[in-house]
Chains A and B, each alone.
Chain A
Amino acid sequence: MRFISFICALFVLSACSGGGGNSNNGEYPQENISIVIPYGPGGGFDTTVRVFAPHFAEKLGDDVTILPENIPGTGGRRGTTTVYREDPDGYTIGILNLPGLVLPSILGEQVDFQLREMSWIGRIESQNYVLLVQAESDIQTLDDFIAQDEFTFVSIGYGTTVLAAIQIAAEQLGLMSKNPKFLTGYSGTSDQLVALVRGDGNATISPISTAYQYVRSENLRPIAVTGESRSSYFPDTPTFEELGYSGLTPLNVQRSLAGPPGMDPVVLGKLREAFLQTMESPEFLEAAAQAQMDVAPLNGDLAAQEIENNFQYYEGFRANLSNPNQL
């Protein structure tokens, strides 16, 4: 991919020098822009970028092409580091995971990027979480759920946003005295939901849109959702806030765009403007709805503020986030 983009870049460069009198002389953007996806092709972040990119390119200018570039590895950190170290010329930006990239430094792992320094363009998506049990269980309400004696939460591995959400929920709902088990290690959210259907455990927490199908097919039952208001997917399911557990309201997972630190304000301004235009474009919104994205736009300043909020929120639970299955 990089090779191809290199060739394309060469092509564009030679076209510029050969043509001489380019109409948008010296103005950004003149080259292809790559959006780094720190995860493999086919996943949620990949889909978001592939839906978003063509509409974003349109708003940036007539001849702009955006190249999605997958740089997977180390749970999203490798791609993020790549963006962080790139030249802040506006030709390389990335789609970043919150709180996925905040968690490693809170858990005491080494990271080679500073999220607070990066040039935030805007937030595309935000998904709230839902607490789920098996549809065939007797649990109907959050009170029923808490009243149980045994808890086995199925989850993706340690260091992921989902496990952190489960650990924080277990603490806030006052379950820790009952010694809940955390059955970690599943390879993805769908995998984890199937594990709950199968009965490997008796509860889990998952991003809402992934869980939706399993609820509709009557395999799983939603008990409560995070966020300030009820989810359009589950209008009958109460929020944790309504039920008196407002500590769980901020739990969500966000997908935001950012560039390397120190980006030229003019360039950043153009990106931010095109971003907001894209977020209002009916064509984009239609494509996003088809791909079942949870579009929740925030402008660059507010998206940057979310980083601060995330650090504060998860820092507060640091003691609860240690590995439950430490050997």
Chain B
Amino acid sequence: MFEPLLTALSYLFSDGLNFLYLALGVVVGVLFGIIPGLGGATAIALLLPLTFGMSPEQAIVLMGGVMGAVSAGGAVTAILLNTPGTAPNAATCFDGYPLTKQGKAGLAIGAAASASAIGGMFGLFILAAVLPVAKSIVLWFGPPAFFMLALLGLTSLTVSSGNMLRGLIAGCLGLFIGFVGYDEIGGTERYTGGVDYLWDGLSIVPVLIGLFAIAEMLMLFVKGGSISESGSQEKIRFTDTVQGIKETLKNLKIVASGSAIGSLIGAVPGIGGVVASFMSYSFASQITKDNSKFGKGDIRGVIAPESANNAKDGGGLIPTLAFGVPGTAEMALFLGVLILHGLNPGPMLLIEREYTIFVLILTMLGATILSTAFICIAAYYLVRIAYIDSGILIPSVISVSLVGAYAVHNTIGDVFTAAFFGVLGYLMIRFDYPRITLVIALVLCSLMERNYTQSMIMFEGDWSGFFRDKTALVLFLFSAVALSIPMIQAFRKKRQHPDGTPG
């Protein structure tokens, strides 16, 4: 393991161009992360033609820079505008945005960036450590395990949404929307009304742009003024950001659990970062004793999802490199870059090009650190966004968002989707329904349904097969535990206050 590592290191330092590519990747990555709608996938697609003349390793350095930086950039928009810059940053909105409203945006950005850095390093460390056994990890997850994982995702969703009934309604709405489109197993179109655009189902990015960016701007339009409710511009101090970094270091337990959840979920293709960061958030809010401030501006609510969010990239590379099975759109594009440069991802890549993989890991490590530094410094200027008057902010954000929605697939339908979900999102804020629950249910819907049907074909209709698959059984037990935690907590409270007074 150490020899290819050293070869990779000496390669990186042998040519100054490598650092230029890395820096370019990081800058593009952060910027694309910040702008809602544009994400890692768009950045890689745009930079792909640039790599034609490069060696495979140089291309990897450039792309690694992008991948290591995107998710950290996405946190900035989540915190400042309540709009996830990339899909996995959605959970960061919960506490990041309330902090901005309280005039503590610098603190939140500092914490998010540093949590991202530590999480990212953790994920890459896990990647390097498990690569030799990556094969067996991917092989643990067959259709029954995927189904149970989706079930676990939905369970933790229900448990952690403050108002369970409204959470369930939003979740069911998400599942319902997820059914729209062509059913690949049953071979029928569902709820498409013959419209071609709906054949592939609604894609997640325009839905997110609508639910968050546009809805938030509608909200601001009604409210007027600027995002920050307290303080004036003079309050922006660089020390806030440093304080945020300190907060992260104080809460290393949350960073560790978030990173672990991120790497694990990231390694499962098809689940993606949205679920990883959300599960980390909900786990953190359950294990901390004093969780009353979660959702109202608790810094730990920023640290948890951001550490998971960056750790998932390391995890996500496991199935991508080991089997050529990409977990996310971004990984699918990265796979294309590898193939174009004659590196065929799959079992043999790990054996034959170990050194190339270490180049990737080292680059992403560098990108993680560079992007954090970049964001911390830029935070000083970025937080001013929160003080911009709505008359300027709303039109700018809405036009960037709609262009972002269009850019994903070059389809005008996506713009209408974003607008529709903008109105829906506004109504959901107005009547206090959790938007993220809808998003996660939408993400998990097709995964859950497909793997359920596949499992039933495998078991010939005998559902007890779910409990004979070891991974599925373990995940089922996790769901059972997650469901029972609130009950146990309620029971304890009752015993402490037998007269029924609230605790």
Contacts and interface: CB of A to CB of B under 8 A. Distances in A.
A complexed with B: yes
Interface of A: 1-2, 40-43, 46-47, 50-51, 54, 69-75, 77-78, 152, 156-159, 181-185, 187-188, 190-191, 193-195, 197-201, 213-214, 216-217, 219, 290-292, 323, 325-327
* Central interface residue in B49, B187, B347, by most chain A CB within 10 Å: B187
B347 A198 contact: no
Contacts, number: 133
B499 interface: no
Contact of B323 (A40, A42, A190): A190
B332 A74 contact: no
Contacts of B52: 50, 54
A292 to B, nearest CB: 6
Contacts of B460: 181
A181 B336 contact: no
Contacts of B196: 73-74, 77-78
B186 A290 contact: no
Given A42-B335, A185-B453, A194-B323, A158 B185 contact: yes
B347 A214 contact: yes
State the 7 A-B residue pairs at the shortest beta-carbon distance, nearest first: A157-B184, A42-B336, A217-B347, A213-B346, A158-B187, A323-B187, A290-B342
Contacts of B351: 217
Given A50-B48, A73-B199, A323-B187, A183 B458 contact: yes
Interface residues of B, number: 51
Interface string B345-371: 011110100000000000000000000
A188 B48 contact: no
A74 B200 contact: yes
Contacts of A46: 336
Nearest to B331: A42
B325 A191 contact: yes
A143 to B, nearest CB: 27
A213 B48 contact: no
Interface of B: 41, 45, 48-49, 52, 138-139, 142-143, 182, 184-188, 196-197, 199-200, 269-270, 323-326, 329, 332-337, 339-342, 344, 346-349, 351, 409-411, 450, 453-454, 457-458, 460
A47 B336 contact: yes
A292 B457 contact: no
B184 A184 contact: yes
B142 A195 contact: yes
* Central interface residue in B196, B346, B411, by most chain A CB within 10 Å: B346
A193 B460 CA distance: 21
A320 B315 CA distance: 41
A158 B197 CA distance: 19
A295 to B, nearest CB: 15
A159 to B, nearest CB: 6
Contacts of A191: 269, 325
14 contacts: A41-B48, A42-B335, A50-B49, A51-B340, A70-B45, A72-B409, A73-B197, A73-B411, A159-B184, A184-B184, A185-B454, A190-B323, A191-B325, A325-B453
Contacts of B324: 190, 213
B348 A216 contact: yes
Contact of A43 (B185, B336, B341, B349): B336
A194 B196 CA distance: 31
A213 B344 contact: yes
A73 B334 CA distance: 20
Contacts of B344: 213, 292
Contact of A73 (B143, B200, B332, B457): B200
Contacts of A2: 410
Contacts of A190: 323-325, 346
Nearest to B319: A194
B187 A159 contact: yes
Contact of A217 (B270, B337, B346): B346
Nearest to A159: B187
Contacts of B184: 156-159, 184-185
B500 to A, nearest CB: 50
A291 B185 contact: no
A181 B461 CA distance: 12
Contacts of A327: 186, 188
Contacts of A198: 139, 142
B346 A214 contact: yes
Nearest to B456: A325
A190 B340 CA distance: 17
Nearest to B199: A74
Nearest to A81: B196
